[in-house]
Structure 1
Amino acid sequence: MEETEQKVGMLGSGSWATAMIKMLGDNQKKKKVLWWIRKEEDLNYVRTYKHNPTYLSAVELRIEPKNLFTDARDVIRQSDIVVLNTPSAYLKAALHGVGAEDFKGKLVVTAIKGIIPDENLIVGSYLSKVYGIPAENIVVIGGPCHAEEVSSEKLSYLTIAAKDTVKAERVASLLRNRYINTVLSTDVYGVEYGAVLKNIYALAGGICHGLGFGDNFMSVLVSNAIREMETCLTAIDPEADRDINASAYLGDLLVTAYSQFSRNRTFGHMIGKGYTVQSAQLEMNMVAEGYYASACIHNIIQQYDLELPICNMVYQILYNKQSANLEVNNLASKLS
């Protein structure tokens, strides 16, 4: 029986979106890939040279020139599966002019590891609230998976979470290839919130490193962080089938906290070195999702009356402009 061609639309042209275009291109399953690129000059460059001029520029991309668009609505309407892969702070702008009817009947995948800042909602919840997308049609992609390593074809693992594992497998089968392994999960909220939290913890690790703390302290920080994450995820969704030591939680936390490619660790390191939030944001060419996530998780801490001292430390430094040195030393007395 002939395999049915699936149409996959990618919204976003940053490093992670570019890496996923490469994954899709290197997967042998029959499909049509459509790509929304915000800047017309970048689109024209990709069309001509098969490379993204701004992110992962050395990577050759297998995509048909006719399948590149600057109108997100065109991509969504023509796709069976829509992958949202912009920074969380830019998702609203990317979907400007898109209506609920455009998403009707689509499987919508969020590869965004962040919070919609002024909504204080994870992406899945935002999609349900604003566009009426049923929860069963939302799929979440988790790590651990840095775009830079994917682009150089280093063996990596993705966690694909959906309420229906058949739908999770439908997405996984399009991404899986010789250097990408996939794990299926039904813990949709846990995988998405876990991705948000690990960015905050990586930012905390960067702050500590910037202040001169070493690997011994970092290991204690991370071991406390995974326990904090479990506390938070259990409060949000206590009934989920979840192993906090799985790669989507502990694995993603470790790579984000320690890797040279982690933008959240880099952002935190700059804060620890004395940069203001604004100056650190200006110097970085990429968005550190942990900054926006910190405010949202602070609200969750208050809502559920949780004790999450690492998250609280990051919030106090970033939003209340407290001394990083004083806050970390105060935190150190609470770690075990």
Structure 2
Amino acid sequence: MRFSVLGAGSWGTVFAKLLVENGHEVLLWARREELAEDINKNHENTEYLPGLKLPQSLIATSRISEVEGFSENFVIAVPVKYIEGVLEKFSKKPKTVVNLSKGIDSKQRSVSSIVCSRWQDIEYSVLSGPCHALEVAVRLPTSVVIACENQQLARELQVAFSNEYFRVYTCEDVLGVEISGAVKNVIAIAAGVIDGLGRWHNAKAALITRGLHEIGRFGLALGCKSPLTFMGLAGMGDLIVTCTSTHSRNRHVGEMVAKGVKLVDVLKDMKMVAEGVHTVKPLLEIAESLKIDMPICRQVYEVLFAGKDPQQAITELMTRPLKMEIEFK
């Protein structure tokens, strides 16, 4: 198969590498010409993945016309806040889109909504799960899920993407997988706050558990197909790795803010985007409009943008009115 991968950050580059290693033809689109030239000349993405050698057959370009002419199968690996602007550059629409990005944009839209508002009548799928780019890059065992309403296409992509170190499962719950990936980034910021305050193991375990509850409550209110989606790789799996891994950008943001570093300075020192920072505001706007209780996400917003003391945020979460853990109806 042929794939055009949009976005030459760490995950876009590593996924393009995986596709080439699986025997596919790939053209990697980079926003900046100098980054594309670096990949083509040195077979390395020295900005995002220094030291990682890329296949010589992996070609990069910064020209939209070349991407349009190369393939009808697009893979989106662009930060969510930039996706709409990138898609507007294209005059021709693809046949299929596989989304790797995780978040909700400032207009309160999931990636599927952004893509399908631009390109109608395409086959859309989303690939998600616990998949830090650096581990996939060095072929460490990784399992993910691809969600698509067209299950025949999902199975074709499952085969196209899978190999001995990258295992892909299929799913029909597109929105559930997208919501899981978006909200877990916000919960991971809260996990980083716990790390910054003292790396409390009891609190981290409770946060992950109650964070999953918020993800599920939010997703089901939006019409996701099954609560089991949140128990799977896109939900619990991705939540665990993003809340605990040193590779996690969102966890890092929370840790640095809890240690007293201003958010603007944390973000200034990061090459890659921490999606949870941009997702939390539109996420809460949706939650408020639907009267969905999201206490962890609310505290994350107040710590990041309202100057709340992180310890006070923890105290307020711990002293909320007492309730049942699970209400059986």
Scaled to the shorter chain, the TM-score interval is over 0.9
> Distance between the aligned counterparts of 1:86 and 1:238, measured in 2?
24
Aligned position for 2:120: 133
What does 1:263-302 correspond to in 2, within 5 Å? 263-302=249-288
Change in CA separation of 1:63 and 1:174 when aligned onto 2, cut-off 3 Å: farther
- Aligned 8 A contact 2:176 2:225 in 1: no
Q: CA deviation at 1:327?
A: 1.4
Counterpart of 1:52 in structure 2 is 45
Alignment pair present for 1:92 and 2:80? no
SS of 1:284's equivalent in the other structure is: coil
Give the % identical residues. 29
Q: Which moved more, 1:173-182 or 1:206-215?
A: 206-215
Post-superposition shift, 1:121? 1.1
1:108 to 97, 105, 116: 97
* Shift of residue 191, structure 1, vs aligned partner: 0.4
| Match in the other structure for 1:15 | 10
Where does residue 33 of structure 1 map in the other structure? 26
Give the TM-score normalised by the residue count of structure 1.
0.90
The residue correspondences of 1:133-282 to structure 2 (distance < 5 A) are 133-134=120-121, 137-240=123-226, 242-282=228-268
Deviates more, 1:90-99 or 1:38-47: 90-99
Q: Which secondary structure does the structure 2 equivalent of 1:86 belong to?
A: coil
Equivalent residues, number: 322
Retained in 2: the 8 A contact 1:140–1:162?
A: yes
SS in 1 for 2:188: helix
Distance in 2 (alpha carbons) for counterparts of 1:211 and 1:253:
20
Gaps of at least 5 residues in structure 1 are 1-5
Report if aligned partners of 1:77, 1:103 keep a CA contact under 8 Å in 2.
no
Any conservation in 2 of the 1:207–1:269 contact (CA below 8 Å)?
A: yes
Distance 1:85 1:243 in 2: 22
- Aligned 8 A contact 2:180 2:230 in 1: no
Distance 2:41 2:180 in 1: 39
Structure 2's unaligned 5+ residue stretches are none
Deviation by residue 1:204-253 (Cα, 9 ceiling, x = unmatched): 10012112251111111111111111111111115447342211110100
1:72 aligns with 2:64: yes
Question: Who is 2:305 aligned against?
Answer: 319
Query: Contact 2:220/2:227 (CA < 8 Å) preserved in 1?
Result: no
How far residue 58 of structure 1 moved from its aligned partner, in angstroms, is 2.1
How far off is 1:59 after superposition? 2.1
User: Per-residue deviation at 1:32?
Assistant: 1.8
**Distance apart, 1:132 and its partner CA:** 3.2
SS of the residue 1:330 aligns to: helix
Matched with 1:3 is none
Amino acid across the alignment from 1:195: G
Contact 1:161 1:184 in 2 (8 A): yes
Instruction: Measure, in 2, the Cα distance between the counterparts of 1:187 and 1:288.
Output: 25
Does structure 2 retain, via aligned residues, the 8 Å contact 1:36–1:70? yes
